[in-house]
């Protein structure tokens, strides 16, 4: 009969909170390199977004992956206030210097980033058609106050819709064919799939006269000019290749 192994005394290896913090600081320091701007650049594993990642024991003793800059802030400053995120004031995601971190709301963190659509669109002073976003020319939907819509463009679209409706009614009354073409007819004219036409509309290459209504209607002359320019651009690219 085999003798049972004596149980290991786990209490002998249990560390005080001060010792655990000191050990974590030492682990953090081994993976950090200070650059000329004072950033503590993390040299270990990183997340897909570029933030440092470190394995740390939680309150139960289990090890789990955490972002290194948040661990650094908790070790040298304290807990991050509930509901706030840490923003890198240096704009270096791999930095773990707690002096370069500031607890902010998610909205502020998103706005400060140079890569988010909210920041890019928020800094625009004019709409895609060149109208300035003044107080008088800017409409903000009550349900989405952070969005901006150009009033001049909306008025132009409304005028085009009214003109299109008037022309269609006149054509129907006189038993004449419609002066406009549909998305399916545009696809046939351009020799592309209907999905390509929808992509052109989404990207702003062509604009329906009745935006916001279905089916979309287009000016034939505008479509002919666009398809001619598109074919010429494709021909030039083919010659350059």
Query: What is the band of 12 on the pLDDT scale with cuts at 50, 70, 90?
Result: very low
Q: What are the pLDDT digits (tens) for 81-99?
A: 999 999 999 989 999 999 9
3-state secondary structure (DSSP) of residue 155 = helix
Q: If you average pLDDT over residues 166-174, what whole number do you get?
A: 73
Q: What confidence score (pLDDT) does residue 9 get?
A: 46
Q: What confidence score (pLDDT) does residue 120 get?
A: 74
Residue 136 maps to a domain = no
Helix (H) or strand (E) run with residue 43 in it: none
Q: If you average pLDDT over residues 194-203, what whole number do you get?
A: 87
Ordered alpha helix ranges (H), the chain: 17-30, 68-76, 106-112, 117-122, 151-173, 183-190, 194-203, 220-240
Whether the Cβ atoms of residue 50 and residue 103 lie closer than 8 Å to each other: no
Q: What is the CATH number of the domain that holds 103?
A: 3.90.75.20
The count of structural domains within the chain is 2
Residue 235 maps to a domain = yes
Q: What confidence score (pLDDT) does residue 17 get?
A: 64
Whether the Cβ atoms of residue 67 and residue 51 lie closer than 8 Å to each other: yes
Residue 11 maps to a domain = no
> Of 75, 95, 113, which one is at a domain's C-terminal end?
113
190 and 105 inside one domain = no
Owner of token pair 């052109």:
200
> Of 113, 141, 163, which one is at a domain's C-terminal end?
113
Residue 170 maps to a domain = no
Q: What confidence score (pLDDT) does residue 11 get?
A: 43
Whether the Cβ atoms of residue 209 and residue 161 lie closer than 8 Å to each other: yes
Residue 198 maps to a domain = yes
Query: What is the chain's mean pLDDT, rounded?
Result: 81
pLDDT at 222 over 70: yes
Lowest mean pLDDT among 117-121, 151-155, 160-164: 117-121
What global pTM score does this model have? 0.50
C-alpha to C-alpha distances, 83 to 2, 11, 104, nearest whole angstrom: 56, 36, 9
> Of 113, 129, 150, which one is at a domain's C-terminal end?
113
Q: What are the pLDDT digits (tens) for 24-65?
A: 888 888 889 999 899 999 998 899 889 999 887 766 666 678
pLDDT at 100 over 90: yes
105 and 185 inside one domain = no
Residue 66 maps to a domain = yes
Q: What is the CATH number of the domain that holds 218?
A: 1.10.1660
Q: What confidence score (pLDDT) does residue 22 get?
A: 60
Residue 130 maps to a domain = no
Residue 133 maps to a domain = no
What residues make up the domain containing 92?
Answer: 16-113
Tokens of 1: 């009969």
- Give CA–CA dist 86/105, Å, rounded: 8
Q: What confidence score (pLDDT) does residue 230 get?
A: 84
């Amino acid at each position: 009969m085999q003798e049972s192994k004596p149980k290991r005394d786990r209490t002998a290896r249990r560390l005080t909170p001060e010792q655990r913090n000191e050990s974590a600081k030492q682990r953090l320091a081994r993976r950090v390199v200070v650059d000329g701007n004072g950033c503590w650049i993390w040299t270990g594993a990183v997340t897909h977004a570029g933030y440092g990642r470190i394995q740390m024991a939680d309150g139960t003793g289990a090890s789990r992956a955490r972002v290194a800059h948040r661990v650094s802030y908790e070790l040298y400053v304290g807990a991050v206030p509930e509901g706030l995120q840490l923003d890198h004031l240096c704009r270096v995601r791999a930095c773990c210097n707690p002096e370069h971190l500031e607890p902010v709301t998610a909205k502020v963190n998103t706005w400060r980033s140079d890569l988010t659509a909210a920041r890019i669109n928020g800094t625009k002073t004019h709409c895609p058609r060149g109208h300035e976003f003044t107080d008088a020319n800017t409409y903000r939907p009550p349900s989405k106050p952070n969005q901006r819509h150009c009033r001049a463009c909306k008025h132009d679209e409304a005028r085009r819709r009214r003109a299109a409706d008037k022309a269609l009614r006149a054509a129907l009354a006189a038993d004449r064919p419609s002066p406009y073409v549909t998305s399916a007819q545009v696809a046939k004219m351009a020799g592309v799939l209907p999905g390509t036409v929808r992509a052109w509309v989404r990207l702003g290459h062509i604009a329906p006269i009745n935006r916001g209504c279905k089916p979309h209607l287009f000016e034939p002359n505008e479509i002919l000019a666009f398809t001619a320019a598109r074919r010429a651009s494709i021909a030039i690219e083919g010659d350059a290749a």
